[in-house]
Amino acid sequence: MTPTRISTPTPGVAGRLEQAIETLIEERGLAVGDRLPSERALSEMLGASRNSLREALMRLATRGRVTIRKGGTVIAEPAENRWTHKTINDPLAPFVAGNPGFGQDVLEVRLGLEGQAAYHAALRAEPRDIEAIRRCFDDLADCHEKGDAAAEAHADAAFHLAIADASHNAVLRSVMSSMFGLLQSSISQSLDKLYMVPRTFERLSQQHQALVDAITAGDALAARLASDTHIEFVAETIRIIDEERARRARAETLRTTLSRT
Amino acid sequence: MTPTRISTPTPGVAGRLEQAIETLIEERGLAVGDRLPSERALSEMLGASRNSLREALMRLATRGRVTIRKGGTVIAEPAENRWTHKTINDPLAPFVAGNPGFGQDVLEVRLGLEGQAAYHAALRAEPRDIEAIRRCFDDLADCHEKGDAAAEAHADAAFHLAIADASHNAVLRSVMSSMFGLLQSSISQSLDKLYMVPRTFERLSQQHQALVDAITAGDALAARLASDTHIEFVAETIRIIDEERARRARAETLRTTLSRT
DNA sequence: CTCCCAGAATGGTCCTACCAAATTATGTGT
DNA sequence: ACACATAATTTGGTAGGACCATTCTGGGAG
C-alpha cells in the first residue's frame, strides 16, 4: 500500500521537459504554425540532453500539440475538429437523408449543448470573444436585410459557434461545429419555415440580443436561460409549422383523392 | 538496396522497428506479462541503434501494446484492444488520453447532453427501456464488486447510453456514443482517479439510483437534476484529484530543478 | 526452506558525431 | 529590380558509446 505514490504518468526528465515546453509555448504566445526552437537550442536552454528533449517532443506530437517534421517542429492546431467530424458526422449522416423529426432531435441536442456553451461563455468570455459574438450578431442582421437566406443561415450558425468559442471548451465547440456542418444544407430550409410565421425574425433577434447581453454581463444563469428560451422557441415554431404543413398536405391529399372519384 | 518507401505512414527506421517488434511478438507467441528482449539485444538483432529501438518501443507503449518499465519491457494487456482496436490505431486516442483539461471539457459537454437525455428519457421511456437501464445498473454494481476497472468503465458507459436510448433521440444517442467510444480507453483511468477518494462508489451508485428512479417515475425535471448532480459530482471529484496531482508534480519538478544546481 | 546480499542485467539519461533533407542566404542572369 | 538557380547553414534522424539508479537473479548464510 503506497498511497503517496500514485501511478506516475511522467516520472522522468522527459515529463518535466514536456511540461516545460508547453509552458514555453504559452509564454511566448506561439500560434499555430509557428516554429519551435530547434532541438539543440531547446535541450540547452532547458538543461537536458537532446535525447530526452526529443522524447518530450515526441510525446507532445502524439498528443497533437506539435507537428514534428524535418526542417523545424511547428505548433499543431489545438484540439481539432478532426475527430468529431469523423466520429459524429459519419454515423449521423444516414439520418439526415429525409428523416422527418430529425430536426427536432437535433434541436433537443442543441438545447443541451448551447445551454452549456452560453453558461460557460458568460463565465469565461474575454473582450475579443464578446466582440466576435457581436460581430456575428450584426452580420446576421445584415444578411436578413439583404434577404439572402443561405447567407443568413450561415451567419446564424456562425453566431452560435462564436458563443461556443467563447466558452473556451474545445470539445463543445467541436461537437457544435460538426452539428452545424451537418445541418448547413437544411438550415436555410428551417429558416424558410421559421419566417412563414409573422414577426419571427424580430423575436429571434430579440432572443439573440438577450443572449448576447447575458454573456456580456457575465450572468451565466441568465445566458443559459436565454439560450434555452431561444432554442425552445425555434423548436416550438418549427413544430407548429411542420404540423401546419402536414395538415395542409393531408387536406390536399384528401381533396385530390376526392376529386379523383 | 534501400527498400523503396513502402506505403507506411511512418517512413522512418523507428516505424520499421515498430512493425518488426510486433512481428517478433507474434512469432514467439509472447503472452501478456512476458518479458520482451532487452533494448540492447533488440537493437542488435534488428540492426538499429538503441535510440531508434527505444523510439519504436515508446510508440508501442503509447499504443498500449507493451508496458515499458525499469527491469524489463513486458507485453501489455490486450484487454482494451478488443473494443478500441479501431480507435487505438487512430492517432487521436493518445491525444485524448494525454491532454489534461480534456476530461473537464468532455464533462461539460456531457452535463448538457445527458441532462437532455435524462429529461426526455423520463418522458418517453417504455418498459423495455427501463428494464435495459436497470440491467445496466446491476451490471455496473457487479463489475465493481469484481474489481474489474475496465469492465466497470464499459458498464458505466453502457448505463448512460441506455438512458440515451430511452430518450428515443437518435442524434443524442449517436453523439453520446461517439463521445464514449473515444473516451473508453481513458475512462478506466478516470475511475482510478475517482476511487482514490473514499466512499466514492457508494455516492456514484446513489446518484445512479436517483437517476433511474426519476426516469422510472417519469419525472423529467428530477431526472435532469439527478443527471446534472451526478456529472457535477464526477467533474468536481476529478478536478480535485487533478489539482492534487498537479501540485505534487510541481513540487517534484521544483525539487529536481533545485537539486540540479 | 527462507532470507539476504552481491553482481549482473535493464531501462534512463547524457554525450558526440555524422547524414540527408529542408531552410535560408547568396549569387547570378535577365 | 526581380526571379531563379545554387551554395551555405540549420534542422531533424540515426548511430554508437558511456554512466547511473533501479531491478532482477542467483548463490550463500542462517
Q: A16: burial class by Cβ within 10 Å (0-12, 13-18, 19+)?
A: buried
Mutation to test the A interface, candidates B105, B176, B184, B188, most A Cβ within 10 Å: B105
- pLDDT tens digits for range A182-218: 666 555 556 666 666 667 888 999 999 999 999 999 9
Q: Please enumerate in sequence order all residues whose Cβ is within 8 A of that of B66, keeping only pairs 6 or more positions apart, or say none.
A: B36, B57, B60, B73, B74, B75, B76
How far lies A229's CA from each of A107, A220, B62, in Å?
12, 14, 45
Mean pLDDT of B31-37: 90
How many angstroms is C1' of D29 away from CA of A150?
89
Domains of chain B, first to last: 13-78 (1.10.10.10), 86-257 (1.20.120.530)
B73 in Cβ contact with B67 (< 8 Å): yes
B132 in Cβ contact with A140 (< 8 Å): no
**Count of C-beta atoms within a 10 Å radius of residue A238:** 17
- On the question of pLDDT at B112 being above 60, the answer is yes
Identify the weakest region by mean pLDDT among A178-192, A235-249, B110-124, B131-145: A178-192
Whole-number pLDDT of residue B156: 86
Whole-number pLDDT of residue A227: 97
Which residue reads 443561405 in cell numbers?
Answer: A150
Helix (H, G, I), strand (E, B) or coil at A199: coil
Whole-number pLDDT of residue B187: 55
A188 in Cβ contact with A150 (< 8 Å): yes
CA–CA separation, B152 and B57 (whole Å): 29
Contact status of A185 with chain B (Cβ, < 8 Å): no
Higher pLDDT, B60 or B145: B60
- Please tell me whether any atom of strand C lies within 7 Å of the Cβ of B21: no
Share of chain A above pLDDT 90, in %: 45
Q: Which residue of A has its CA nearest to B253?
A: A16
Closest residue by Cα to residue B237 from B198, B208, B187, B205: B198
Query: Would you mind telling me the total number of residues written for chain A in this entry?
Result: 261
Mean pLDDT of A231-238: 89
Cβ pair A92:B174 closer than 8 A = yes
A157 in Cβ contact with A184 (< 8 Å): yes
pTM, rounded to two decimals: 0.69
Q: Residue B138 corresponds to which cell in the numbers above?
A: 446491476
- Please tell me whether any atom of strand C lies within 7 Å of the Cβ of B38: yes
- On the question of pLDDT at A97 being above 90, the answer is no
Helix (H, G, I), strand (E, B) or coil at A5: coil
Identify the weakest region by mean pLDDT among A182-186, B132-136, B241-245: A182-186
Identify the weakest region by mean pLDDT among B38-47, B138-147, B241-250: B241-250
